[in-house]
Amino acid sequence: MNAPQRRQLHGILHGIRAVIIDLDGTMLDTAPDFQYAINRMRSELDLAPLDIGTIINFVGKGTENLIQRVLAIDFEPDQAARHFARALKSYLRHYLAINGDFTTVYSGVRDGLDALQAGGMRLACVTNKPIGFAEPLLQKTGLIDYFDIVYGGDSLPRKKPDPLPLLQVCADFALPPQQVVAIGDSCNDALAARAAGCWVLNVPYGYNHGQSIQDVDSDGIVETLLEAASLICRDRVGAG
């Protein structure tokens, strides 16, 4: 990001008081966990394993959508529907058994979270991953204590890209959406933030359904969570 872009973003983000951060593909590289559980499930259905690139393109819209897309590779819609319940149960069993075992924390995440906390930000994690997986994963990776609020894809009646989870966080923090920024790796995060009236930053790594992050309507692309923190908290902690 060049200097004029940084100045522009800093102006936009002046006055931010809370940050909503996505999980998979933004803070944590969980694709190897997905690959392991999906391929164990596929082996039970006598299906060939999938490469990690294929799986990454399916991540981000919730567990049910993930399994539907995985089954669609091999089955016609009516056949996929018949296999869905068994496949979902198998996947959840295998994922729960290894949740976090193959996951890594992206570079800049811990430093970014430290900087956001030092800057006085309220922090929430909003993910489409089921809450029963999200909270243990945050615990296992040592990130859980950074967050005042964690919402999973099944915590509320609707999940991203619906704005409801972000609006709920704003209500929980008693803040207007204009004082909240969402950070994520995909169009789901940007669509939810735009609909909620929050600002939104994207990271260029992670999982954006096989699409270029440059095509997503956001307020800017930051290389790391630490760079985002330096822009958001610049006046408070002297970063940037």
Task: Tell me the catalytic residues.
Answer: 22
Among residues 106, 125, 225, which one has the least CA distance to residue 168? Answer: 125
Interatomic CA distance for residues 143 and 105, integer angstroms? 9
At residue 207, what is the residue type? Answer: Y
Interatomic CA distance for residues 100 and 24, integer angstroms? 11
Interatomic CA distance for residues 126 and 137, integer angstroms? 13
* Cβ count near 82 (within 10 Å): 12
At residue 97, what is the residue type? Answer: A
> What Cα–Cα distance (Å) separates residue 76 from each residue in 38, 82, 86, 191?
19, 10, 16, 30
Q: Dihedrals φ, ψ of 234, to 5°? A: -55, -45
